[in-house]
Amino acid sequence: MSQGKPSGFTKQAARNIFYGGSVFFALLFAAIVFDSEHKIPERSNAQNITESVVRGKKIWETRNCIGCHTLLGEGAYFAPELGNVYKRRGGEFIKAWIKGQPTGAPGRRQMPQFDLNDQQLNDLVDFLKWTGEINTEKWPPNIEG
């Protein structure tokens, strides 16, 4: 080495550790990304997307449910998580709930009336059922978000 006394840990060694470590972790990162990508099809539940699920998602979007609720952890924290609401409550409860809003119950946050017909309610339930069957590895961890 050009500078000073020889020592066990040279500049060259530091450089090698730096480049070697960078390459190692870049490859590890690529491998983990590949592994995750590979598992998406079996976790996404995409094979169960029916026409009613698609219609239900449109209602979900156009009525801005996400403006108050979270779905699989994403959204607003004003109202309960709905990714698991089908499992927690079932389809009949969900339809009756939506029809019965606002409850006017004192001291509780209110949800608006959306005036949905039976077909729209069924579509929404199908969408929420489908969402609940996505394998999120138990995300979100808190049952009501």
Residues that bind ligand HEC (CB under 6 A): 63-65, 67-69, 78-80, 82, 85, 89, 94, 97-98, 103, 105, 108-109, 111-112, 114, 124, 144
Helix residue spans in 45-145 (DSSP H): 51-62, 85-89, 91-99, 118-132
Closest to ligand HEC by CB, 25 vs 93, is 93
End-to-end CA distance of the chain: 59
User: DSSP assignment, residue 83?
Assistant: T
Cis peptide before 112 (omega within 30 of 0): no
Report the nearest approach of ligand HEC to the CB of residue 139 (Å). 17
Residues with Cβ within 8 Å of 76's Cβ and at least 6 positions away in sequence, in order, are 66, 67, 68, 69, 70
Give the nearer residue to ligand HEC in terms of CB position, either 29 or 139: 139
Query: Least separation, in Å, of the C-beta of 116 and ligand HEC?
Result: 7
What minimum distance in Å lies between the beta carbon of 48 and ligand HEC? 19
Q: Is 86 exposed, middle or buried (0-12, 13-18, 19+ CB in 10 A)?
A: buried
Amino acid at 13: A
Smaller CB separation from ligand HEC, 49 or 79:
79
Residues 119, 58: Cα–Cα separation, whole Å: 13
* Shorter beta-carbon distance to ligand HEC: residue 38 or 108: 108
CB nearer to ligand HEC: give 19 or 78.
78
Least distance CB 112 / ligand HEC (angstroms): 5
From the CB of 44, what's the least distance to ligand HEC, in Å? 21
